[in-house]
Structure formats: structure tokens, C-alpha cells
């Protein structure tokens, strides 16, 4: 809206709206160019990162090929490397953490936004939940080591004795392992998922909720059948971010996963993840090991890509189902 001055004609307010001025058009074009630059910067950033990692990884890829993905030895002395246990551990721990943290995060979000608590109290808890995202992962690692592992040990022992024939509980918990790591990871991503889901739910227009109640739904019917589907894309975004965080988490997992190159279905066995592998070995790695670690980093990015694509496919399928 440009300002057109008509002195003398209008006494109270000289501003009258008119067509955009030349300055407005110029500002418009600049802004759009800036926005496009922002998008290109993201693409360039990813490109540069891939180029950096890929550049260092090519030697590793050339020498180890696809066998890298299926071998289970990691022996620096004999220059034999394989990341199958790490891929397994990454997927197992992250998906488990996403299932637990994602579920509880969304439930928390519903709990805090759908009038289960007085509004001021809900706001306080919302802030507290967001704060938890600020706790450094080292602290989560320490908490896991000093609180979660001792607390889990008796439970794990009981499960092993009574249900040990189920592969999930096939070993005892000798200290760090998959279960403590996944639990702590779930706690770490819960604030992210909860905070973004809360926003998604609060952005659902009030009219939609009122319409549902007007039709006579119970509170939960309104939530499950109307609010959640409307907020679905936002909640899905929350899950994507949470999953990304779970995949890339290094410090806390390094302390809690047990770092053993075994593949086991048991929740209590030690395992290993790609991110922890990178964090623990990169500082001391020699040239050859760096190449191999960069190869592993590429694999991790590829996994993120694949799981995200799978998630989007699932969302698209369910959207099609609700539409039809």
C-alpha cells in the first residue's frame, strides 16, 4: 500500500491506499530474490557437505565397496572395516526411541493443549518441556549412566529370568546397552516432538474444534478424529525432527550404548551406532580410518534419507485413504 498524499482534500487522514509504488515493486522483487537465495543456500550447504564427506570417503568406497555394509569386523590394526552392527544399532535404537519418545511426546502435547489442565499451569509446563531440549547431551549421558542403568538392572534381570526365551530379553544388562540408550534417547527427543506438536495442535482453528463438539463428539473423539488429522502435517514434521535428532545423537549414546560390534535382538545387549562410531573414533583416527569413517557418515545420511522417504510415503498413503 503506498501513500498518496492529497493535501487539502482530506482533513483527518492524508493516507489513502493505492496501487503499489515503484519502491514497493522493487522491495517485492528484492525480498523474493532473498527468499530464493535462502533456499539455494540450503542446497549449496548440503552440496558442500556431501562433497567434503564424499571427497574423503571415495577412497574408502573404492577399497571396501558394498562389503563395508555387510561386514561385522572393525579392526583398525588389520585394516578390516565393516558397519553392519552399527547400521543395525542405529536403526534399532532410533526407531525404538522414536516409537517411545514420539508417542509420549504427542500424548504430552495433547495433554497440554486440550484443556486437561488450567491454562496457566499448562503454559508453565509447556515452557518446562521446551527447556528440557536445552540440556546438554553430556548431562543426559551422565543421568543415563547414574540413574537409568542402575534402575533398569533389576527390571532387566527379572525379565531375563522369567521371559529369557524371548529374544528381546535374551541377555542380562551388564551396564550400558541398547535399552538404557534408547530410553535416554526417547527422553531427549520428547521435548522436541512435544513442543512442535503442541504448536501444530494450537494452530488448528478453533472453529474446527467447535464444529466437532457441535456434532456431539466426546472430547477424545474430537481429538482423535478431528484435531489430530488436521494437525497431522505439523505432528509429522515434529516426528521427522525428533527422528533426525535420534539418528545424529552422539555424546549421550556414546556413553550408554556399550559400543560392542555385535548384532543381537536383545534389548539389554550392548550395541553400537554410526553416530557414536564417528564420535568415538574420529579424534584418534589415522588417514585410512578417516576415509572409512566418512564412508560411514555417508551411509548415515543415506539412512536418514531413506527413512524420511518411507515416512512420507506412509503419510501420502494414509492421506489418500482419509480423502477417499
Partner 1 sequence: MRRVSTTCVLAGFVLALLAGPVAAQDSLRLTGSGATFPFPLYSAWFKAFSGKHKGVTVDYQGKGSGAGIRDFINRTVDFAASDAAMTDEEISKVPGGVQLLPMTGGEIVLGYNLPGNPKGLKLPRDVYTGIFLGRITKWSDPKLKAANPGVNLPDTDITVVRRADSSGTTFVFTSHLSAISEEWKKGPGAGTTVNWPKSDKFVASPKNDGVSATIKQTPGAIGYLEFAFAKFAKLEMAELQNKAGQYVAPGGEGGPAALAGVQLPGDLRAWVTDPDGPKAYPVATYTWMLFYKENKDPKKAAAIRELVEFCLNDGQKMSAQMGYIALPANVAAAVKKAAASIQ
Partner 2 sequence: MSVAPGSAAAPVVTVRLQRSVFERRALRNGLLTAGAWAAAIVAGIPLVSVLYMLIVRGGARLSWEALSTLPPAGFEMGGGFGNALVGTVVMVGLASLLSIPVGVMAAVYLAELGPGSRLSRTARFATKTLTGMPSILAGVFAYAAVVLVTGTYSAPAGGLALAVLMLPTVVLTAEEAIKAVPKITRDAAYGIGCTRTQVIWKVLLPTALPGILTGVMLAVARAAGETAPLLFTALFSSYWLFDGGAKLMQPTASLAVLIYNFSGMPFDNQIELAWAASLVLVLIVLIINVVSRLVGQRRV
The residues that touch partner 1, with contacts defined as CB under 8 A, are: 73-78, 145-146, 149-150, 171-172, 174-177, 254-255, 258-262, 264, 269-270, 276, 279-286
Answer for the pair 291, 60: CB distance below 8 angstroms, yes or no. yes
Q: Determine, following the binding rule CB under 8 A, whether residue 9 of this chain makes contact with partner 2.
A: no
271 has which bridge partners? 258
Report, in Å, the least distance between residue 309 CB and partner 1.
32
**Over the range 262-279, which residues count as b (16 or more CB within 10 Å of their CB) and which as e?**
ebbebbbbbbbbbbbbbb
List the one residue from 195, 228, 256, 292 that touches partner 2 (CB under 8 A): 195
Q: Which of 126, 187, 175, 108 is nearest to 146 (CA)?
A: 175
Report, in Å, the least distance between residue 164 CB and partner 2.
25
Q: Considering CB under 8 A, how many residues would be counted as binding partner 2? A: 96
Report, in Å, the least distance between residue 106 CB and partner 2.
10
**Over the range 197-229, which residues count as b (16 or more CB within 10 Å of their CB) and which as e?**
bbbbbeebeeeebeebeeeebeeeebbeebbbe
**Over the range 287-296, which residues count as b (16 or more CB within 10 Å of their CB) and which as e?**
eebbbbbbbb
List the one residue from 4, 124, 147, 166 that touches partner 2 (CB under 8 A): 147
Q: Determine, following the binding rule CB under 8 A, whether residue 208 of this chain makes contact with partner 2.
A: no
Place of cell 547400521: 87
Report, in Å, the least distance between residue 172 CB and partner 2.
23
The binder of 284, among partner 1, partner 2, none, by C-beta within 5 to 8 A per type, is partner 1
List the one residue from 3, 16, 52, 162 that touches partner 2 (CB under 8 A): 52
Other C-beta atoms closer than 10 Å to the C-beta of 174 total 13
How many Cα neighbours within 13 Å face the side chain of 128? 8
Report, in Å, the least distance between residue 21 CB and partner 2.
10
The binder of 59, among partner 1, partner 2, none, by C-beta within 5 to 8 A per type, is none
List the one residue from 82, 89, 102, 234 that touches partner 2 (CB under 8 A): 234
How many Cα neighbours within 13 Å face the side chain of 29? 6
Question: For partner 2, which stretch binds (CB under 8 A), given 67-75, 76-84, 126-134, 261-269?
Answer: 126-134
Residues between 239 and 268 that touch partner 2 (CB under 8 A): 240-241, 243-245, 247-251
Question: For partner 2, which stretch binds (CB under 8 A), given 75-83, 101-109, 168-176, 314-322?
Answer: 101-109
Report, in Å, the least distance between residue 304 CB and partner 1.
23
Q: Determine, following the binding rule CB under 8 A, whether residue 314 of this chain makes contact with partner 2.
A: no
Q: What whole-number distance in Å separates Cα of residue 101 and Cα of residue 105?
A: 6
Q: Determine, following the binding rule CB under 8 A, whether residue 233 of this chain makes contact with partner 2.
A: yes
Element (H, E) at 81: strand 80-81
Rg (CA), the chain: 26
Q: Which three cell numbers stand for residue 40?
A: 539455494
Q: Determine, following the binding rule CB under 8 A, whether residue 66 of this chain makes contact with partner 2.
A: no
Residues between 155 and 184 that touch partner 2 (CB under 8 A): 183
Answer for the pair 271, 254: CB distance below 8 angstroms, yes or no. no
Element (H, E) at 74: strand 74-75
Report, in Å, the least distance between residue 24 CB and partner 2.
5
The binder of 209, among partner 2, partner 1, none, by C-beta within 5 to 8 A per type, is none
Amino acid at each position: 500500500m503506498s501513500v498518496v498524499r492529497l493535501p487539502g482534500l482530506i482533513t483527518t487522514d492524508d493516507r489513502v491506499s493505492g496501487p503499489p509504488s515503484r519502491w514497493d515493486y522493487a522491495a517485492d522483487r528484492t525480498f523474493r530474490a532473498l527468499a530464493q537465495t535462502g533456499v539455494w543456500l540450503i542446497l549449496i550447504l548440503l552440496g558442500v557437505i556431501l562433497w567434503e564427506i564424499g571427497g574423503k570417503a571415495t577412497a574408502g568406497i573404492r577399497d571396501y565397496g558394498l562389503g563395508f555394509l555387510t561386514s561385522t569386523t572393525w579392526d583398525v590394526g588389520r585394516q578390516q572395516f565393516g558397519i553392519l552392527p552399527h547400521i543395525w544399532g542405529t536403526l534399532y535404537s532410533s526407531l525404538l526411541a522414536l516409537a517411545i519418545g514420539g508417542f509420549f511426546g504427542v500424548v504430552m502435547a495433547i495433554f497440554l493443549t486440550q484443556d486437561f489442565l488450567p491454562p496457566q499451569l499448562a503454559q508453565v509446563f509447556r515452557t518446562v518441556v521446551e527447556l528440557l531440549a536445552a540440556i546438554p547431551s553430556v548431562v543426559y549421558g551422565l543421568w543415563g549412566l547414574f540413574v537409568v542403568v542402575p534402575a533398569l538392572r533389576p527390571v532387566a534381570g527379572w525379565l531375563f529370568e522369567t521371559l529369557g526365551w524371548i529374544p528381546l530379553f535374551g541377555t542380562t544388562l551388564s551396564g550400558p546397552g541398547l535399552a538404557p540408550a534408547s530410553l535416554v534417547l526417547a527422553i531427549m527427543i520428547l521435548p522436541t516432538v512435544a513442543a512442535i506438536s503442541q504448536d501444530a495442535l494450537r494452530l488448528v482453528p478453533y472453529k474446527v474444534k467447535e464444529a466437532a463438539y457441535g456434532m456431539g463428539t466426546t472430547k477424545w473423539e474430537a481429538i482423535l478424529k478431528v484435531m489430530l488429522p488436521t494437525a497431522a502435517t505439523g505432528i509429522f514434521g515434529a516426528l521427522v525432527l525428533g527422528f533426525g535428532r535420534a539418528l545424529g545423537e552422539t555424546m549421550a549414546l556414546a556413553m550408554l550404548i556399550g559400543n560392542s560390534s555385535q548384532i543381537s535382538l536383545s534389548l539389554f545387549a550392548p550395541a553400537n551406532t554410526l553416530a557414536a562410531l564417528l564420535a568415538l573414533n574420529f579424534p584418534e583416527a589415522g588417514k585410512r580410518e578417516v576415509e572409512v569413517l566418512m564412508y560411514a557418515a555417508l551411509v548415515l545420511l543415506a539412512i536418514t534419507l531413506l527413512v524420511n522417504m518411507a515416512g512420507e510415503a506412509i503419510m501420502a498413503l494414509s492421506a489418500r485413504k482419509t480423502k477417499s
